[in-house]
């Protein structure tokens, strides 16, 4: 099975998404390196007891990858929803 293509619809949003990830994961209590916010996945995996290596993780079960991704993506989605609701509330008369 091939790798998923994970390109942002708006490539210019990449830096903002990395900043969002860093801020949200910091709020969740994780240590985040500003220059490498993606590395938080290793800390999350370790906390969950999931073995994750730097580089190839082809041996990783889909379920385990979902647990790690969910721990990161879930809070990010909640924060984006909160930000959108806040912005919409400011537009209301």
What pLDDT, on the 0 to 100 scale, is given for residue 37?
A: 87
The pTM for the full model equals: 0.79
Q: Is the pLDDT of residue 1 over 60?
A: no
| Tokens describing residue 47 | 């906390």
The Cα–Cα gap between 40 and 44 comes to: 6
CA angle 37–33–22, rounded 5-degree value: 45
Q: Which residue in this structure is represented by tokens 């903002």?
A: 16
pLDDT in tens, 29-80: 999 988 888 899 999 999 999 999 888 888 889 999 999 999 999 999 999 9
At 86, the pLDDT band (50, 70, 90 cuts) reads: very high
């Amino acid at each position: 099975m091939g790798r998923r293509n994970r390109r942002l619809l708006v490539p210019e949003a990449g830096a903002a998404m990395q900043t969002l990830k860093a801020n949200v994961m910091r709020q969740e209590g994780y240590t985040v390196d500003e220059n490498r916010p993606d590395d938080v996945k290793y800390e999350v995996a370790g906390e969950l007891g999931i073995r994750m290596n730097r580089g190839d993780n082809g041996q990783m079960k889909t379920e385990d990858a979902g647990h790690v991704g969910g721990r990161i993506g879930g809070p990010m989605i909640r924060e984006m929803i909160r930000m959108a609701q806040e912005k919409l509330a400011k537009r209301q008369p």
